[in-house]
Structure 1
Amino acid sequence: MTDISQSTQVDAPARAGAGRWRTVFGTGIGNALEWYDWNVYAVFAPFFASQFFPKSDATSALLSTLAIFAVGFLMRPLGGLFFGWLGDRKGRRTAMVASIAMAAGGSLVIGIAPTYDTIGIGASLLLLLARLGQGLAHGGELPAAQTYVSEMAPPGRRGRWSSLIYVSGTIGITVGTALGAVLASALVPAELAAWGWRIPFVVGGIIGVYALVMRMRLAETEAFEHDDAARTKISLWQAFWQNRIACLKVIGLTLGGTVVYYTWFVAAPAQAISVKGFDPSATLWVAVAANVVFICALPFFGALSDKIGRKPVLQFAFIGGAVLTFPLNWLVQDQVWQLAAAMFIAMLFMAPASAILPAVYAEMFPTHVRTTGVAIPYAIAVAACGGSAPYLQTWLTKAGAGSVFLTYTVALLLLAVLVVRGMPETKDVDLT
């Protein structure tokens, strides 16, 4: 009996450790796929734009492709509503399983879709429908994953664990960018435009199937299982209204960061290639290196917030981002090293907020409305300003009004600073 008892005591930490790694991997791979999907679309847009739109006007085809990128974001609020409800009523795991299945399907559709030369405007419509489906899925994926990780985090480590969201997401972006760099090096532009761009979308679909299997093996969070309100007839809209101030804070914290993120982290390589004429291979490898810097910085700032609090870390990120917006854009002229320096600095100043916002969002809401409370306002903010950022930046830059876009970015970052100043410190909030 003593041996059995001692063996059980020894095995318990190992089982707990295995369970935590399963949580980290199962959540991370699905979240990485979401970001991979969005990034490969932005990175490969210059190559496949003419496959879905008329080739007679390359600039018009690129703008149309970026417009669909932005339109996909309009589905995020609906995805946040549906998958948020699913996560708050049926469980966080259920929402994550359903969202990853839909996202993987969208990636496969794009990868095998016929071209404009083959079926005309039907190709454009297929691209649009696939992106709308992915937008719906991704509107619920990120909030569900954020809530799941925050609720599963060990006491005193929520900030560090929440950095998993952007660590895994950036890994997805890095894989997509690296794949783009490899393909740009191995294939000539004509081959990339003809068929090479399909490879990353098909790969994304295959990864999605694997992520689906992994997520089906995850355990549900104790916070959800022990929350009776999640299974009662409490109106979701009533709960949402009761937490309306927190929802407005989510929007205020998200607007500026999402513009910076999609400007520097997602669209910068495509902008440098298509607008400034940078070498595609060198530009994409710069983006890979910058993302590695970002990944390394995230856990540090997550752990720092567990020690000194969320508010100081957020203020550092948003104030620094506002101060550096104009200088970093002026830095990028006609050399690849300038893009590298600007991206490295931008990554270091956005890492603090990116690392801990998933925890901050979760700490604002009670359990029975936590996923929806994050999902809907977050999706509204990203749909309003995130998805449109690459298109708006391209359009204003070509019109000679790039400073207007930069001023817009600074204003949104300063709004986030004001929101942080009015927030209570939340690092010690109990999510159970």
Structure 2
Amino acid sequence: MGNALEWYDWHVYGLFAPFFAKQFFNPDDELSALLSTLALFAVGFFMRPVGAVVFGWIADRKGRRLAMVASIALQSAGSFAIGLAPPYASVGAAASVCLLLARLAQGMAHGGELPSAQTYIAEMAPLRRRGRWTSIIYVSGACGILTATLLGAGLSNVYGAEGMAAWGWRVPFILGGLFGIYTLFLRTKLTETHAFEKVPSAEQPRAKRPSIWRGFWQHRAAAGRVIGLTAGLTVTYYSWTTAAPAYAISVLKLDPTAVLLAEIAALIVFIVALPLCGILSDRIGRRPNLLFFGVGMAVLSYPLTWLAQSGEVWALGIATTIALIFIATCASIAPAVFAELFPTHVRTTGTGVPYAIAVALFGGTTPYLQTWLAGHNAQSYFTGYAIALLLVGVLVAWTSPESRAKPLE
């Protein structure tokens, strides 16, 4: 549930940005307010490396369970802060500061959540079913996004654009905080992984404990592979699940409820495809999945972008569905691939830090960059940028060894 809640919170922010942008920034300039809100979306991403370092150290030194408990507590606090923050009309720029601080807290929490959770699942998974088991990371994440999207469609349909802009946008953030408290309780009942329990504990003499940072440096090539594989994936993912619907609502002026329903249909297909792709990787290997994603999306990026921006909701839905099917081939196994690159004593930090850096640099800037370029009739430049990152991932996948059924030591 914690990973689902992380994706729920993150998606709620991007999805509801057109509704609450004027609540935190100057309402006289609608486009400027939206861009400022999306800029804070990126700022939250830049706290992820900090969270990856802090919670990665906790997970690799004190245990995966403790890191997951601490990250969900901070995540819930950020959700409550946004949902209860005063508007720009009441406190002026202080509203923007409240939103900034909440996003920084959420970014730090999210930086520790995903690597801790995916390491936990990978270490608990049976050797020859790791692809299937770790696909639950993105299945739960997609379920969180689906929940946010369903809630958005329902609220938009009931309260309309005016009601959503006035107060309806607060509901999903407050619910996120409440779900976080429940998840916090559940995580206190988890057991630690056997792989971590075999690592010398912090109570032993320092000389007998493996150094996290020395281990990270020794596996810097693996960290580079994480960045190379993540860059294209995160840009492609956020451009289709966050930036595309926000652009369709705010710029193309498509019906918000219809756009959200189209995304719901695409997400359902994505959720079904994820475990199937994970199972496939357990049989034929990780590299074929990674190559299929990179090459396929590089070839289809321009046609799908043109289809999505044709001004028709059905076209946006078809383009998003096709894109998410390709994304599923990579996203389903990314946690397994990353876990298989590092030894136990540095696994969370080794996967979390480079992943957070890549997501911050590339994924966090995607909604802002895509919206800004599209607003200047330069969408083709963004698509070319995404294709270049996808081809980097193809090169990394092609030159990486196959890791299917590799024991986690």
Under a length normalisation based on structure 1, what TM-score does the superposition of the two structures give?
Answer: 0.92
Alignment map for 1:26-425 (pairs within 5 Å)? 29-228=1-200, 232-332=208-308, 333-425=310-402
Deviations 1:290-311, CA, capped at 9 Å, x for gaps:
1010000000010010010001
Residue 244 (structure 1) shift: 0.3
Match of 1:22 in 2: none
2-structure distance, mates of 1:132, 1:392 = 20
2-structure distance, mates of 1:147, 1:234 = 18
2-structure distance, mates of 1:54, 1:315 = 45
State the identity %: 58
Instruction: Report the residue type matching 1:199 in the other structure.
Output: V
| 1:298 and 1:355 in contact (8 A); partners too | yes
2-structure distance, mates of 1:111, 1:299 = 34
Alignment map for 1:11-30 (pairs within 5 Å)? 29-30=1-2
Instruction: Report the residue type matching 1:91 in the other structure.
Output: G
Instruction: Report the residue type matching 1:267 in the other structure.
Output: A
| 2:228 and 2:393 in contact (8 A); partners too | yes
2-structure distance, mates of 1:425, 1:229 = 31
2-structure distance, mates of 1:359, 1:236 = 20
Residue 268 (structure 1) shift: 1.6
Runs of 5+ consecutive residues of structure 2 not aligned to the other structure: none
2-structure distance, mates of 1:329, 1:425 = 32
Deviations 1:319-356, CA, capped at 9 Å, x for gaps:
11111111100112111000011011001111010000
What RMSD, in angstroms, separates the aligned Cα atoms of the two structures?
Answer: 0.9
| 2:51 and 2:111 in contact (8 A); partners too | yes
**What is the DSSP-based 3-state SS (H/G/I as helix, E as strand, rest coil) of the residue aligned with 1:360?**
helix
C-alpha spacing 1:93/1:241, structure 2 compared with 1 (3 Å): same
Runs of 5+ consecutive residues of structure 1 not aligned to the other structure: 1-28
**What is the DSSP-based 3-state SS (H/G/I as helix, E as strand, rest coil) of the residue aligned with 1:50?**
helix
Deviations 1:154-201, CA, capped at 9 Å, x for gaps:
221100001000000000000001100000100021111111000000
| 2:243 and 2:370 in contact (8 A); partners too | no
Instruction: Report the residue type matching 1:57 in the other structure.
Output: D
Instruction: Report the residue type matching 1:257 in the other structure.
Output: L
**What is the DSSP-based 3-state SS (H/G/I as helix, E as strand, rest coil) of the residue aligned with 2:151?**
helix
| 2:15 and 2:245 in contact (8 A); partners too | yes
2-structure distance, mates of 1:314, 1:235 = 31
1-structure distance, mates of 2:264, 2:296 = 23
Residue 266 (structure 1) shift: 2.1
Residue 228 (structure 1) shift: 2.2
Deviations 1:205-263, CA, capped at 9 Å, x for gaps:
00000110111101000000012277644332211100000000000000000000110
Residue 267 (structure 1) shift: 2.2
| 2:210 and 2:345 in contact (8 A); partners too | no
**What is the DSSP-based 3-state SS (H/G/I as helix, E as strand, rest coil) of the residue aligned with 2:333?**
helix
Deviations 1:2-47, CA, capped at 9 Å, x for gaps:
xxxxxxxxxxxxxxxxxxxxxxxxxxx0000000000000110000
| 1:229 and 1:368 in contact (8 A); partners too | no
2-structure distance, mates of 1:422, 1:73 = 29
1-structure distance, mates of 2:251, 2:368 = 12
Under a length normalisation based on structure 2, what TM-score does the superposition of the two structures give?
Answer: 0.98
1-structure distance, mates of 2:4, 2:244 = 19
